[in-house]
Amino acid sequence: MDLHGSAAIVTGGGSGLGEATSREIVARGGRVTILDLGRSKGAEVAKSLGDAAQFCEADVANEAQVQAAVDATVAKFGLVNIVVNCAGIGTAGKTVDKEGKPFNLDLFRKTIEVNLIGTFNVIRLSAAKMQTNAPNAGGERGVVINTASVAAFEGQIGQCAYSASKGGVVGMTLPIARDFASVGIRVCTIAPGLFLTPMLMGLPEPARASLGKQVPFPSRLGNPEEYAALACHIVENPMLNGEVIRLDGAIRMQPR
């Protein structure tokens, strides 16, 4: 699919992986709706991208808010044919801690709600509109890209909720791709390793450097622009479908 003239929804587009992807899509001639929470920098990012972007405040797990963002995308750009799901939260805590206290069940539910249910909510509502697009010469009507994590495969101590949520994203990638095959919508998931996202940027520099050294090669933290480059390649390569791609410098996470 050609990025030039495309219209994308990028969740979590106010920072990190989502912001980098939004900027790269616009740089390649696309348009983008940045879907993020009101407290994010989504409106600022959209303003910096000019007429090629707009901001829609929404919680990814809220049906009405996401539907409004889909409708706003079609109203402004005439269609939606790309979705990149970057919105997510990170939580940490053992299933039962040293004091014998069980992990907070509400926090577990919230992690699943945002990372897994929110991703599915955006997919289902945007794809309902995508499938009405006229197909391109290759029969494509849309592309969906999700964000999992290497924690889906090698969850560390304290990542029970986060790994469960990201494992769910991995698990639904192929069946959703199969669901949409007949209408020409491709679905892939990127599983990043250690990236310079706002969560890691909050760590002291020595801590970030230490984490980077755990990556076999290149021995550093990933840059959001590298995620954005892969997301754009997935859009442009029609044979990428139903796949989960690790973007991690060959790291395999240890228990802690």
The catalytic residues are 162
Burial class (CB in 10 A: 0-12, 13-18, 19+), 180: buried
| Strands of 31-36's sheet in order across | 53-57, 31-36, 7-11, 82-85, 142-147, 185-192, 244-247
In three-state secondary structure terms, 247 is strand
- Long-range own/partner contacts, residues 208-211 (CB < 8 A, 24 or more apart): none
Burial class (CB in 10 A: 0-12, 13-18, 19+), 61: buried
- Tell me if 164 sits within 8 A of 114, measured CB to CB: no
